[in-house]
Amino acid sequence: MVTVAAFDENFYERYKNDNRPVVLYGAGKNMQNSWSRYPRVDHICDKNADQIGKYNDVEVISLEELNKFNESLYIIVTIKSPSIVKEAIHTICSMKIDAVIFKQEDNIAFCDSFWNSMNSYEIAESSRKIKVNIVCTDSGWIFNKFAERMKDVLETNNVEVKVSAQPCDGVDINHHIPYVAFTPKRNDTLMITHVDNTKKIELLKKQLNVAGMGICMSRDTLDKLVSYGVDRGKLCYINPAHDGMIRPHKYFIGITHKCHDEEDLRKRSTALLDVLAGINADYFKFFIMGAGWQEIVSEMLKMGFEVEYYEDFVYDIYNIMMQKIDYFMYMGFDEGTMGYLDALAAGAGTIVTPQGYHLDVDCEIDYPCCTVKQFREAFLDLQHKREARIKAVEDRTWKNYTLKHLEIWNYLLRRKSLKELYANQSDYQDGIFSAMIEDNRV
């Protein structure tokens, strides 16, 4: 389905909340002159795609290629002529794609008045280094860690920075970690956390009469403070970072039966190699106990999987390992496997066939599977869940955290224009984009 956005449906606001691929329709001079106004551009579509090839390393595709897209898109029609825009929209609407069309010449986000307003406040002198004092008395772990991590990043970004126990004169910004112990100066910023009583609310209100900005750690805290009467114009939030040192542990999969594939296929053991085809070995390791698995284990190792293999049944080792596994796996159809009961006793998840006495336990099988495809989909589901968790915090780096503070400080000190500060507008929602900025909209 194709829809056309109205003039006042701001493209950037829509893009922030639904970050789908962006296609520019029309590769002419108007697009080229406006290039800095677009967020990440995934594709450019033009009738003369074959002659153009690429622009700024972005591939120019034909109308036929655009019509083949299966994912939801934002399409910005960059053409100036109203009649040609009308024709372009008619062409796009006839396609079997899912897209929202924004007309560059008729959308608030691309108006000259919108962009000119970003430069409406006076820019201060910014040739010298910005000087920052991170005020922190904590000698322990967490708050001191914030201070030291920020200091490390700032030093590599042309900022003159120090960490001290008191605010000081002669710096552009005193950044207080946290806010409770200090009297801020003009333009100072406060790290806001642990606001758990009314006295702290009242303290914040007084501090923010002077300070430049209170920087919360979450949107939730910002919204709560506003509901308590704290000045919204003095609040933003920046999500905290992590050290990037933690690596995900692998799912530990247990298999505890003999491999009978040379005699018969009742256990379907060899099919395990088919199941693991296309599975990322970074996310899984195996405990296998039972005779006859040597060749299969050898192939698994070649595929990159860790395997702890015991050919003989050793009861003590079995008891230990079954209490370590995350999931128990069984592919056979010969009524069931006794390891299934022990796995449940250990609280492990199950990836097994729904048959025999597997069905008589008052507990649902986590992944009931019959075919190779279903077993593979179970592994892919676990893999994708793990990948999604990792991806959710992959940009929560100390560098990103600190540079978002630097954007706030450059705004308070007026060292950069709003157009410069809004260059990353479509990349994240916290930091400068969570603050109430003057004159950033018409």
The confidence score (pLDDT) of residue 118 equals 52
The secondary element (H helix, E strand) that includes residue 74 is: strand 73-77
3-class DSSP assignment, residue 200: helix
Let me know: does 365 contact 352? Beta carbons within 8 Å.
yes
DSSP conformation class of 186: T
The confidence score (pLDDT) of residue 442 equals 32
Closest by Cα among 125, 187, 177 to 402? 177
**pLDDT digits 0-9 by tens, 226-276:** 999 999 999 999 999 999 999 999 999 999 998 876 665 655 678 999 999
Let me know: does 15 contact 42? Beta carbons within 8 Å.
no
Closest by Cα among 338, 326, 334 to 367? 326
The confidence score (pLDDT) of residue 262 equals 63
The confidence score (pLDDT) of residue 399 equals 97
The confidence score (pLDDT) of residue 378 equals 98
Tokens standing for residue 198: 């009314």
Whether the pLDDT of residue 389 is over 60: the answer is yes
Cα dihedral angle (101, 104, 108, 114), rounded to 10 degrees? Answer: 150
The confidence score (pLDDT) of residue 264 equals 57
Tokens standing for residue 321: 């390992």
Q: Which residues pair with 306 in a beta bridge?
A: 285
Distance (Å, rounded) from C-alpha 17 to C-alpha 19?
A: 6
Least confident of 108-112, 127-131, 153-157: 108-112
**pLDDT digits 0-9 by tens, 265-309:** 655 678 999 999 999 999 999 999 999 999 999 999 999 999 999
| pTM tops 0.85, yes or no | no
Mean pLDDT computed over every residue of the chain? 90
More reliable by pLDDT, 166 or 34: 166
Edge-to-edge strand ranges of the sheet holding 159-164: 159-164, 130-135, 173-176, 189-192, 213-216, 235-237
**pLDDT digits 0-9 by tens, 172-227:** 999 999 898 878 877 899 999 999 999 999 999 999 988 999 999 999 999 999 99
* Helix, strand, coil percentages in the chain from 3-state DSSP, rounded to 5: 40, 20, 45
In the chain, what are the domains?
2-110 (3.40.50), 131-237+397-434 (3.40.50.2000), 251-392 (3.40.50.2000)
Phi, psi of 215 (to 5 degrees): -110, 105
Helix 398-412 and helix 142-155, axial crossing angle in degrees, nearest 10:
70
The confidence score (pLDDT) of residue 214 equals 96
The whole-number average pLDDT for the span 409-419 is: 88
- Provide the terminal-to-terminal Cα distance of the chain, rounded to the nearest Å: 31
